[in-house]
Homo-oligomer: A and B are copies of this chain.
Amino acid sequence: MSLENKSLVTIDDLSNGEIMALFSLADGMSANMKEQHGLCQGKIMASLFFEPSTRTRLSFEAAMQRLGGSVITVSDIGATSLSKGESIADMARVVGGYADIIVIRHPWEGAARVMADYAGIPVINAGDGGHQHPTQTLCDLYTIQKERHTIKGLKIALWGDLKYGRTIHSLIFALAKFGADILFCPSPGLEVPQHVIDKLITEYGGDLEKLGSLDQTAKDNLFPLDAIYTTPSSPHQLAMMPDISVQIELKEGVDALYVTRPQKERFDAGEEGRDFKEKYPVVDKKLLKGRVFRKTLVMHPLPRVDELAYEVDADERSMYFKQATRGIPVRMALLSFLLGARGLDVPEVDSPPPVDYPVYRHDISPVCPNPKCVSIQATEIKYLKPEFKIVKTRPLTLRCVYCEHGFEPKYVASTDWHEGKLDTKKYHDADSHWARTIRPENLIVFNKAEEAQAHGFKPSHYTGGHH
C-alpha cells in the first residue's frame, strides 16, 4: 500500500495500522541512518513556517536531508508574500509547482487543510494555530510505543495548558484511537476546550468523568486531576466509580505524564496578565516521588519554560529529549511514505470507524465563529466557502471543516420554502420541534435573526418572541 500524494492534516488522516507501519519503518531507519541517504534524492520539501519554530522546522529539514532530499524554506512571515496579502490557496498552487511535498506551520486554524486542498502535492501540518500538530503526536506515540510496547490500556496524564496546546489536541484523539485512558490535569483556566471533548466522546466513544474540585483531589493526596476519559476498549470500571475511588484505580500508577508549557502566544487579552503557574505544581523531583509516578514516562513536546524542572533531566523516566531525537526517524518515515519513496506494509490493527456526518455547504451560510479560523480571514474569505459538519441535532451543532470548532446556530430554515408561495419562506428556532423536521440536505442555519431576515426569511410560529 502507498500513501503517496496523501496529506497529513489531522492525526485522523492516518489509520492505526498506518501509524504502526510508520513506526516499524522509523525503527528500521533509525538503525541504519546512513543507508537512507539515497531515498529521496532529487526531491524537494518546501518548509513553510509562518510562526516561530526551531525544533519542528529543523527536525523536518534534517529528516528530509537524511533522506538525501533538499529543502526550500520560508521561516519568517515578515519576509514573505503573506505580507503582500497573498492567500494560502495561491501560495499552495505556486509552491505546489516548485516542490514535491509541503510542510506548513501557520497561526490560522485550518490553514494546513486549505494548503492541502490546493497544493496538488502532499502537505504535512506542522501546527495550525491551536488546532492540531499531528507529527508531534506521532513522535509522542512512538516514544510511548517504544518504551511500553503498547498504547492500548495505558493511563496517560496530560498536564498544563490543555486549552491552547495543539499538541495536546492531536494527542487526545490519538490516545483515544489507540485505546488509552486519559487523565486531564489542566492548569486552572486552561482546561480542554469543549469542542475537543465533544469530538472525543462522539467519535471515539468512551466516557468522560468530571472529578471533584482540585481541592478535593489535593486533599486525597493526589496530583491535581480535573477529569478522566476511559476508552470503550478499557476493561475497568473507573467511569462508574465516585471520585474517591480514583485513588484505587490509580494504584497501578500513571504510565506517562505529558507536560506542556502555557502557550502564551495564543492567550487572549483577558488571559495575558494572569499567572497560570500560581496554583499549579511544577513537575519536579518532589512531585515525581509520588507513588503513582514510580514508573511514569515524563514527556514534554518542548520548549519548556518553568513547568518542568531541570533537576528531572537526568532522571531515567525523563523522555523529552528522546522524544525530540526520535522525531527524526519518525519524520523520515513519514516523508518517504508520502513521497512514495517507500511502500507501506500496514498491519491489521483496530481503528475506530470514521464517523460520517452530513455536511452543510450552502450559499446561505453563517461564518465560522472562531476568530482564528482560516475561513474567515480577509485574504481567504474571497474564495473559501464556509463548510460545516452537522455533528449533533439536539442541540443542533455544526463543526467547521477547517478549524473543527463547533457552534450551535440559533435559527434554521428549509430550502423547501421555494414552492411558489413566498409565505413559506420562514425561519425557526433551532431548538424548536419544527426545526428537527428539516432534513440535513435542506437545512439552512443562521446565527442571528437579522441574517435570516436579510435573506428574505420571516419568523415562524417556532421562532421565540418573533410572532
Interface size on A, residues (CB 8 A): 59
B53 touches A81 (CB 8 A): yes
Interface: A46 (CB within 8 A): yes
- Say if the beta carbon of A456 comes within 8 Å of chain B: no
Other A-B pairs beyond A44-B62, A58-B72, A97-B324, 14, CB < 8 Å: A42-B66, A44-B66, A46-B62, A52-B79, A54-B74, A54-B82, A55-B81, A55-B94, A58-B74, A75-B79, A76-B78, A86-B302, A93-B321, A94-B324
Q: Are B76 and A79 in contact (CB under 8 A)?
A: yes
- A residues 315-337 near B (Cβ < 8 Å) are 321, 324-325, 327-328
Contact flag A97-B321 (CB < 8 Å), given A53-B79, A62-B72, A84-B305: yes
**Per-residue 0/1 for A9-38: is the Cβ within 8 Å of any B Cβ (1 yes, 0 no)?**
000000000000000000000000010010
Residues of B within 8 A of A54 (CB): 74, 80-82, 86, 91, 94-95
| A382 beta carbon closer than 8 Å to chain B | yes
> Closest residue of chain B to A46, judged by CB?
B58
Q: How far is the CB of A378 from chain B (nearest CB, A)?
A: 10
With A62-B44, A84-B261 in contact, do A328 and B97 touch (Cβ < 8 Å)? Answer: yes
The answer to whether A303 and B52 have CB atoms under 8 Å apart is no
Residues of chain B within 8 A (CB-CB) of A325 are 94, 97-98
**Residues of A in contact with B (beta carbons under 8 Å apart):** 34, 37, 41-42, 44, 46, 49, 52-55, 58-59, 61-62, 65-66, 68, 70, 72-76, 78-86, 89-91, 93-95, 97-99, 261, 265, 302-306, 309-310, 313, 321, 324-325, 327-328, 382-383
CB–CB B324/A93 < 8 A: yes
A92 nearest CB neighbor, chain B only: B321
Q: How many copies does the complex hold?
A: 3
Given A303-B86, A305-B85, are A61 and B72 neighbors across the interface (CB < 8 Å)? yes
Distance A98 CA – B74 CA, assembled complex (angstroms): 19
The answer to whether B98 touches A265, judged by C-beta atoms less than 8 angstroms apart, is no
* A37 proximity list for chain B (CB < 8 A): 41-42
Residues of B close to A313: CB separation below 8 A: 383
Distance A397 CA – B392 CA, assembled complex (angstroms): 73
A306–B328 CA distance with the chains assembled, in angstroms: 41
Sampled A-B contacts (16; CB under 8 Å): A37-B42, A49-B79, A54-B80, A54-B81, A54-B86, A58-B72, A58-B95, A70-B70, A75-B76, A76-B78, A81-B303, A86-B303, A90-B304, A94-B325, A98-B327, A310-B382
Nearest residue in B to A34 (C-beta to C-beta)?
B42
A-B residue pairs, 3 tightest by C-beta: A97-B325, A86-B303, A310-B383
Q: How far is the CA of A44 from the CA of B70 in the complex (A)?
A: 12
Task: State the CA gap A378–B383 with chains docked (Å).
Answer: 45
Please report the C-alpha to C-alpha distance between residue A94 and residue B321 in the assembled complex, in whole angstroms.
6
Residues in chain B near residue A304, CB distance under 8 A? 86, 90
Complex formed: what's the CA distance from A54 to B327 in Å? 27
The reply to whether A303 and B85 form a contact with Cβ atoms under 8 Å apart is yes
Q: How far is the CA of A82 from the CA of B382 in the complex (A)?
A: 36
Docked Cα-Cα span, A66 to B70, in Å, equals 9
Complex Cα spacing A52 to B91, Å: 14
The CA-CA distance from A399 to B140 in the complex, in Å, is 43
Kindly list chain B residues whose C-beta atoms are within 8 Å of the C-beta of A73.
Answer: 73
- Shortest CB-to-CB span from A429 to chain B, Å, is 36
CB-nearest residue of chain B relative to A84? B303
Contacts of A78 in B (CB 8 A): 52, 76
CA distance A34 to B43 in the complex (A): 9
Residue of B nearest to A309 (CB): B382
Task: Identify the interface centre among A66, A80, A328: most chain B CB within 10 Å of its CB.
Answer: A80
